[in-house]
Amino acid sequence: MDKNNDFLKWMTTNTQTKYWHDSANLSELAIGVSNGATGTTTNPFLIGQTIENRDVWAERLSKLDKNLSGDAKVEAIMKEVLLEIASRLPEPGDDKIVRGVCAQTNPSHPGEAGFMLEQAERYVKWSPQVTIKLPATKAGIEIAEVCVSKGYNVAVTVSFTVPQVLAIGKALQNGFEKAKQNGIEPGLGIAVLMVGRLDDYLRDVMYDTTNDATEEDIIWAGTACIKRAYEVFMENGYDAYLMPAGNRGAYHITEIAGARMICSISPSTYKDLGAIDKSEFIEKINNPVDKSIIKRLETMPEFVKAYEPDGLDIEEFMGYGATNRTLTQFVEVGWKKIQNYQL
């Protein structure tokens, strides 16, 4: 990882675009913070990955009750990891609204509103820096609105489509207004669009269906969707931040530079961003994706569902291919992995 990343420093200092570090690794986090990161976008997979380093975590986690199991065990481990991360983030300043650490609800229950709300109520007690991560399902968005109405910080994730983030933006705005009406200071609201994971999913669709798209088109799919969502967010005056996440290369970041967004940037992308020539330090958020690329991508119905504001109904969010398989991944290689950790 590049300890001195001029592009990230330029973006966070000279534009309204901010970023959170996408890793739970403490040494990587230090480099992220040095380059301008003000928060972290951890998830069950990243936490399960970092606690494998027993030299770092065994002593800290050894203090936990050895009899813990199931969700109680996962939450206890998550709490220790997230509080340690939070202690290493910059001190809140005038822009404290974009500082925090994500605590994701159990991905095994993405349709159970009551279950997620109970978890959220526990998480919020851990630290003022906690940002509750909920899924972009009908139930998850419903609970996101409830949480922000109480002044909690919220990020709605496993989201891949314009319809999902627009539904999130509307719900969070409703929650903000309810909070203000009740004399509560609204917290942070984030609508995630996992641009790289959308590209990954559509690449599989491209190879398995009849269409006109090419690999050169696929890498623009997530970018096209978040640019379109951003236009609507600005038109509607939503206070929530869009968050491009799951990036697969520098292009996912450079194309939205200048936007009022909080990027989730993984260490694997730092090197590519660090190699960008200073002549390319340009705000590109208003640069449209080539219409011919969009036209070819639109020969795939799965892209149309993701790109058109009315491409999916809220009842269909859970079943969208990328959402469904990512939730499964977070369960199998994230939540269950933490459950099986030997204290």
Per-residue model confidence as pLDDT tens digits over 224-271: 999 999 999 999 999 999 999 999 999 999 999 999 999 999 999 999
Domain boundaries in the chain? 6-336
Compute the average pLDDT of residues 117-145.
97
Instruction: Tell me the whole-structure pTM to 2 decimals.
Output: 0.96
b/e burial code for range 322-336 (CB count within 10 A of at least 16 → b): bbbebbebbbeebbe
Spelled out in words, what is the top-level CATH class assigned to the domain 6-336? alpha beta
List pLDDT tens digits, range 170-191.
Answer: 999 999 999 999 999 999 999 9
| Structure tokens, 60 | 């800290």
Phi-psi sector, 237: left (phi>0), alpha (psi -120 to 50), beta? left
- Residue 64's pLDDT is what? 97
Q: Is 299 helix (H, G, I), strand (E, B) or coil?
A: coil
Decide if pLDDT at 97 tops 70. Answer: no
Instruction: Give the largest Cα separation in the chain, rounded.
Output: 59
What pLDDT sits at residue 96? 55
How do residues 310-340 score in pLDDT, each as one tens digit?
A: 999 999 999 999 999 999 999 999 999 999 9
Joined tokens for residue 15: 């534009």
Contact call for residues 296 and 217 (beta carbons, < 8 A): yes
Identify the pLDDT of residue 2. Answer: 58
pLDDT given for residue 91 in this prediction: 80
pLDDT at residue 4 in the model: 87
State pLDDT tens for residues 36-56. Answer: 999 999 999 999 999 999 999
Interatomic CA distance for residues 60 and 343, integer angstroms: 10
Q: Dihedral of CA 146/148/154/155: which sign? A: positive
CB 262 within 8 A of CB 243: yes
Task: Report residue 3's pLDDT band, with 50, 70 and 90 as the boundaries.
Answer: confident
Rounded-to-integer distance, Cα 42 and Cα 152, Å: 17
Radius of gyration of the chain from its Cα atoms, rounded to whole angstroms: 19
